[in-house]
Structure 1
Amino acid sequence: MPDPADTITPPLLAGVELGGTKVVVLRAQGRKIVDRVMIATTGPDETLGHVATQLRRWQTDTPFAALGIASFGPLRLDRAAADFGHMLPTPKPGWTGADIYDTIAGALPCPAMIDTDVNGAALAEWRWGAGQEGDRPSDCLCYLTIGTGLGGGFALNGAAIHGAMHPELGHILIRRATGDDFAGACPFHGDCIEGLVSGPALARRFGVSGDRIDPRDPRWDHVAHDIAQLVGIVLLTTAARQVLIGGGVGMGRADLLDLVRAKLVAQLSGYLPFVTPQSVGQIVRTPALGEQAGPLGAVALALDALARG
């Protein structure tokens, strides 16, 4: 069956990428983004109100066929739950309990779908990016974002992974590097992986904002160790073929990614035969779609909503 994004007259779609610092509200013709509005993420009432107003304005002007919402989490994604589409307890002040789905999509006369931003990005990469670069589509792809927080999503045979919740890779506890005494920055768990390597965690660990950290600082070795631990857990538990690392930390330092790859190979000690010094560069890499993986994740969700009807 042809991808709806590749038809001769692609449908007009709307998408929302709701991040911790900014929101991207967009319209797309198929997968081509044709309009984009940026909104600062403040409190939920103000932020979601601006998003809903923009979408209603577009819907009145030229109706779109479906809406995709790719939001930071954690989210309730069980449609049978009373709080479907709500934000679950989050370190983001004021956002716990926010009704994301109904506030944005409730009044719109079109199908809509909500998922985490990282699940959306994983679907976009599977559909149009790294997942299509081999001889056949990747059957299991992981997308990690390391920035304001740390999140991870999966595309398994073209579908996002859901169960009791959605993947919450940011709060995994890893084996710490010898000699690393940084206490971590997560308000829930201290030294979970998000509390060790997210942007705010790096600022606390190094004492300066991320863009001012000396790339030669030896403490980067601990950061690379920690990220490699997470990637190893993903590969060992899910057999993912690719782990794409995006976000400001993930895409901002190529030297860090090289160090992560070397640490990963050493930590696995040859146990996974497909992870070698020669192959690791294709397994652990930046997203093929770059910074567009997030916005296109909302488009991918809109296409899935349209297909579901």
Structure 2
Amino acid sequence: MSKQNGLLVGGVDGGGTTFKCCISTAEGEILRSERFVTARPEDTMDACSDFFVRCAKAGQPPEGIGIACFGPLDIDPQSANYGSILNTPKAGWSGFNVRNELADRTGLPVSVDTDVNGALGAEMAWGAARGAKSAVYVTVGTGIGAGIFANGDFLGRPSHPEFGHIRVTRHRDDIYGGSCSFHGDCLEGLTSAPAVEARFGPPELMAPDHPGWEIVACYLAQACISLTLTLRPEKIVLGGGLLLAPGLIDHIREQYAAMLNGYLYMPTDAVAQLIVLPGLGDNAGLLGGAKLALQSLVSQ
């Protein structure tokens, strides 16, 4: 009998704006979930712990928890600081150990990885990158990050990539200085949700034909080209709140093809199959956390 039969696990998607928690089966079926505003770290961990305690009392006790969390993050299991958030612009979170704090509150084994590694793992198991041997998940929200899987593992271990801080060529009409507190006009500084809102207003209120989307698509297309030319992944999954904008994925694909300028022969349908939205939608990170817990439990 498989060690996965009947397992229930807890998943946490730790974002800079929202934390989400779930109870999931080993097959990736979410049985219940809740979301909380990302507040003070102690208060946020209290809310997560309370969710899992209530689930246990309701007859759905998780055997372990996985956290797919914003970073930068110490994801080395051999490190004394495994699970600690490093130098983040998110006030109050630098140095906070999400793994230890949640484990202490729940008494359960807790695994941790980056939000994008978690989301990519879930997409490769149950979503848009299922069956791919190499894939990238890029999240575009409060920040920007990328999880990269190739040659049987996630790239960058025991650390992780910081793809959101690569440099991009400025759009000719963009004079914004950038929102990144470390690098100004890096990819994250020009394309994250706060950067978009700073010059165009709330993204959810921008019309589909707003000229700002052309600028956003320009930078994300450059990011996809960098990934293609360096890694040649089978799938590039673009997730995060900003990708909910109607038509943005199509603008990115169009600019991607135009910027390549025929260098790589890629028919239109091939670009659409390469650059995709998450098959798991808003649950990619949440199920990524659940998959982390599952992997940890079945490997014991």
- Of residues 25-34 and 212-221 in structure 1, the stretch that sits farther from structure 2 once superposed is 212-221
Counterparts of 1:1-309 in structure 2 under 5 Å?
A: 4=4, 9-30=5-26, 31-59=28-56, 63-106=61-104, 108=106, 110-132=108-130, 137-156=131-150, 159-163=153-157, 165-206=159-200, 208-254=201-247, 256-273=248-265, 275-309=266-300
- Of residues 53-62 and 181-190 in structure 1, the stretch that sits farther from structure 2 once superposed is 53-62
**Structure 1 residues 259 and 38: alpha-carbon distance in aligned structure 2, compared to 1, 3 A threshold:** closer
Q: Distance in 2 between matches of 1:301 and 1:23?
A: 16
Q: Distance in 2 between matches of 1:149 and 1:241?
A: 24
Say whether the 8 Å CA contact 1:126–1:155 is kept in structure 2.
Answer: no
Deviations 1:136-171 (Å, cap 9, x if unpaired)? x20111111112211211233664333352121111
Return the letter of the residue paired with 1:183.
Answer: G
Unaligned runs of 5+ in 1: none
| Structure 1 vs Structure 2 CA RMSD | 2.2
Return the letter of the residue paired with 2:233.
Answer: A
SS in 2 for 1:219: helix
Say whether the 8 Å CA contact 1:17–1:23 is kept in structure 2.
Answer: yes
Say whether the 8 Å CA contact 2:204–2:245 is kept in structure 1.
Answer: no
Say whether the 8 Å CA contact 2:110–2:293 is kept in structure 1.
Answer: yes
Q: CA deviation at 1:10?
A: 2.8
Say whether the 8 Å CA contact 2:140–2:241 is kept in structure 1.
Answer: yes
Deviations 1:39-61 (Å, cap 9, x if unpaired)? 22101111112223433454566
Say whether the 8 Å CA contact 2:41–2:96 is kept in structure 1.
Answer: yes
SS in 2 for 1:196: helix
SS in 2 for 1:145: strand
Q: Distance in 1 between matches of 2:203 and 2:100?
A: 36
Q: CA deviation at 1:241?
A: 1.1
SS in 1 for 2:24: strand
Say whether the 8 Å CA contact 2:133–2:151 is kept in structure 1.
Answer: yes
Return the letter of the residue paired with 1:284.
Answer: I
Say whether the 8 Å CA contact 1:67–1:305 is kept in structure 2.
Answer: no
Unaligned runs of 5+ in 2: none
**Structure 1 residues 162 and 14: alpha-carbon distance in aligned structure 2, compared to 1, 3 A threshold:** same
Deviations 1:54-81 (Å, cap 9, x if unpaired)? 3345456654222211111110111222
TM-score after normalising by structure 1: 0.89
**Structure 1 residues 90 and 71: alpha-carbon distance in aligned structure 2, compared to 1, 3 A threshold:** same
The aligned length equals 298
Return the letter of the residue paired with 2:297.
Answer: L
Q: Distance in 1 between matches of 2:69 and 2:6?
A: 24
Return the letter of the residue paired with 1:195.
Answer: G
Say whether the 8 Å CA contact 1:123–1:160 is kept in structure 2.
Answer: no
**Structure 1 residues 284 and 2: alpha-carbon distance in aligned structure 2, compared to 1, 3 A threshold:** farther
User: Percent identical across equivalent pairs?
Assistant: 37
Q: Distance in 2 between matches of 1:107 and 1:215?
A: 44
Q: Distance in 2 between matches of 1:112 and 1:168?
A: 24
Say whether the 8 Å CA contact 1:232–1:268 is kept in structure 2.
Answer: yes
Q: Distance in 1 between matches of 2:111 and 2:167?
A: 31
Say whether the 8 Å CA contact 2:102–2:110 is kept in structure 1.
Answer: no
